[in-house]
Amino acid sequence: MSGSPVMHPQTTQTTALSDDDPASESMMKSPTTSGREYRGNEYPIPATMKAWVLGDPEELALVEKPVPQPGPAEVLVRVDAIAVCATDIEIIRHGLPAMVDGGLPFNRGFTPGHEYMGTVVRLGPSVDEFEIGDRIAVEVHAGCGRCQRCREGMYTACLNYGYPRKGHRANGFSTDGGFAEYAVNSVNTMVHVPDDMTDEEATLVVTAGTAMYGLDVMAGIIAGEGVVVIGPGPIGLMGVGVAKALGAQPVILSGTRDRRLEIGRRLGADEIVNVTREEPVAAVERITRGKGVQYVLECSGAPNAVDEAARMVNRGGRICLAAFPANPVPVDLAYLVRNNIYVFGIRGEGRSATHRAAALMAQKRFDAKLIHTHTFPLTEVPTAIRYARERIEDAIKVVVKIREK
Ligand SMILES: [Zn+2]
Ligand SMILES: [Zn+2]
């Protein structure tokens, strides 16, 4: 790669395979003819692909762009399905938290989308962790592997976030994502999908991974301990499923929408609390007979959520914030300090949480499919995003199915 500080995202993702690289020999059974048409693979891979790219804010266009090539420790994934995330909507509207080459992602040929699954169709040099034809789900962040946080295993908090020339990648955030026919992934960002898991369900692995990471950072025992999940959005609902699968007791879900709360019950919530009918702190007190819970996973972003969570946990309890309010809010800090309450913030799905969430899903410990509500084809990504953004027909997880099997 050149030392130029500003690079086009496409060039940063297109690590050319060298014909004389011994590690790539096995994939080069027959020589390339055009330099773009890859041969010697089980899957024929075209030179170009359909991909949605971000222009100005709120401007997505379906274009034809080169199929990226995997570098060392990377594979090319044929994207089979992708779920729309609230963060995609943020990125398309405001740019952040996506960051391409240190700047906003607009008008750089950037492809958003990060909750995808697919099939491995080409291996980069030295890759033996996966085989052509493997079905995989992805996590977002590969990190850079060279900064302090990545070395500590906190790759979702990479200090080189947004700088692919420093080796950082987070697909759909700082490198091209999955609203496209193909995407390059680091071998560190993929987990095998079992045959009996549908493409649609596999797109939910990353969401469940985020919920798992939230429980991880609170570093508790979970089994036999009380967990409140505030907010039955996709992460909250997956949080219920994961907490229950890990043996939490009781798991209490609070929110405003009966239909979503009911899905939470089917995912394993012992108690659901509709906050329009019962004050949630009083409800937790009632359910736990005044003891409170050990953990709150806050997934609502409501302005009063931290104060409420603080009164749901018992002394020494832990709160993980997986959502946040749009504006700064006052918080009763004295209450947190006096009661030795810990508050954590999480970004993404670190510590390989995706692998653990996928394992629980593969063992059918909770039914993630319950949150999948709508499906659209690749040509209708803007409609899919509109359904998710406006919660049309009570949409929870909207999936774009790119490949019909
Ligand atoms: Zn997401
Ligand atoms: Zn890093």
Cβ atoms of 247 and 223 closer than 8 Å: yes
Query: What tens digit of pLDDT does each residue of 304-341 get?
Result: 999 999 999 999 999 999 999 989 999 999 999 999 99
* pLDDT for the residue numbered 37: 41
* pLDDT for the residue numbered 404: 76
* pLDDT for the residue numbered 43: 81
Ligand number nearest CA of 82 is: 1
Q: With bands split at pLDDT 50, 70 and 90, how would you rate the model's confidence at 220? A: confident
Element spanning 313, H or E? strand 313-321
Ligand number nearest CA of 141 is: 2
Q: Are strands 271-274 and 342-345 parallel, antiparallel or unpaired?
A: unpaired
Percent of the chain clearing pLDDT 90 (strictly above):
86
**For residue 349, how far is its CA from the centre of ligand 1 (angstroms)?**
9
**CB under 5 Å of ion ligand 2: residues:** 143-144, 147, 150, 158, 160
**For residue 174, how far is its CA from the centre of ligand 2 (angstroms)?**
13
Ligand number nearest CA of 166 is: 2
Q: Using CA atoms, how far apart are residues 334 and 147, in angstroms rounded to an integer? A: 35
**For residue 1, how far is its CA from the centre of ligand 2 (angstroms)?**
18
**For residue 222, how far is its CA from the centre of ligand 1 (angstroms)?**
24
Q: Please state, in angstroms and as integers, the Cα–Cα distance from residue 187 to each residue in 108, 152, 192, 374, following that order.
A: 25, 19, 11, 30
Cβ atoms of 373 and 395 closer than 8 Å: yes
3-class SS of residue 17: coil
* pLDDT for the residue numbered 48: 98
Percent of the chain clearing pLDDT 70 (strictly above):
89
- Whether the per-residue pLDDT at 24 is higher than 90: the answer is no
Tokens of 272: 């659901």
**For residue 149, how far is its CA from the centre of ligand 2 (angstroms)?**
6
Residue 75 CA to its chain's centroid (Å):
19
- Whether the per-residue pLDDT at 26 is higher than 90: the answer is no
Query: What tens digit of pLDDT does each residue of 102-131 get?
Result: 899 999 999 999 999 999 999 999 999 999
Ligand number nearest CA of 157 is: 2
pLDDT (mean) for 360-386: 98
pLDDT (mean) for 131-155: 95
